[in-house]
Structure 1
Amino acid sequence: MPYPPGYGTYTNRYVQAEETSMKLQNIITLILFLFLSSCGMKTKKGLTKNYDENKTEILELKDYYNEIVPKGFIIRIRYNSSDNIDFFVYQPIENSEKLETLFQQWNLDMDDYEPENPRSDYDKKYNGLTNSFKEVKEKLNWTSKTFIDLYNKLENVNCMGISNRYPTEIEYGFKGMGAFSYLIFDENLNTELQEKYSDDCSQMFYKENVVLNYGSGAIGSYCTPEFKRTK
């Protein structure tokens, strides 16, 4: 069946109009996303204000967490919600000073997690010796109540995550693709260490035993201009 005169031109214009409309929709969606994201972005001012207002509870959280983590283990946890976490557990290797990855899962739904079985070679190599959340909890002697209590303690100081690596790191919140956090040492930092942990980039000494930290994500700048000191 022959097409009417001008059919090809009309079709091309229609396709171009559709593509333009789609691009416009994508741009509007991106602008809205960036606007909504920026509304919840954290700042250095908020970071310091939060510490000053919740200092006692933040330091108590540090001590509490280091008490519940078994000796020799390093555990990093970030709450995406009350029942969804990023959870990384590293255990000591016998007769060694090194650690090995026991368990590693992003976006773990604690109420509905089913480990993949059989495990892929990639999962075995990069995500730990086990993918059983139940097994890990038993090894750590953690219960569901442990996770609830920890979530509530973090919420109480407006924070979202914690790690017991030295110094203890307590995550405050996101800025862009990165996140602000507190590095809390056991002792107050002397002048030399204060300078060491102020690099005009990702770390800045705040006061006493506290360093402000900015960790970038997979993409984005490693530095934050908010940590640039005035000379």
Structure 2
Amino acid sequence: MQADRHRHRHTDRHIDWKAAAAVVVVVVVVVVVVVVVVVVVVVVVLVVVVLVAILRVVVVVVVEVVAAAAVVVVVVVVVVVVVVVVVVVLVVVSSSRGGCSSRSSSRGCCSIVVVAVVVVVEVVIAVVVSAAAVVVLEVVVVVIQVVAVVVAAIVITTAAVVVVVVIVVVVEVVVVVIVVVVVVVVVVVVVVKVVVAVVVVLVIVISAVVVVVVEVEVAIIVVA
């Protein structure tokens, strides 16, 4: 009965160690899964941020180009209308004074037209250059922002991957250490069992030898 109880105790301890190891493994797996999920979420968020930044660049470029084109068209139309009105007024005034039929008057009318054309061309060039400069500046600023966002996303993603790798390595090392400790404990228990069994056997053998020797001596004394 005592041997059975002793055996049941050691069996219970062995089951407890298995349960502890299983709990440790489950905890490690849960930690790894949570870390991986967090990293995946971070990466997805960063990808979305990068895509939004790129979309912003595209939208800003399109909007700026359309706005600049609209401004250029409006300014050109206004300038052309104003210049045409001024030219017409000057021609009418010149005609009322003698018309453009004479040589001097025709030169004056041609000069007015030439000046008007030059003014229109200069205004158009100035407006186009200004609008193009504004668009290019805005695009450069947005591209710099996008590059900064992309670089930050790459840095954060790399750091997250490094952290995950370190955590996984640490967890694996902890698991290996726990397994080694469990194995060492089991080996120690087995060795203790063997030592106890050997001591018990030795005690029994020695006791039997002592009993036999005592009985032999007693028998010799009685016979003598």
Q: TM-score, normalised by structure 1?
A: 0.25
Which one has a larger percent helix, Structure 1 or Structure 2? 2
Higher relative contact order, structure no. (Cα contacts within 8 Å, ≥ 6 residues apart): 2
The structure with the largest strand share of the pair is 1
TM-score of the pair, normalised by structure 2: 0.25
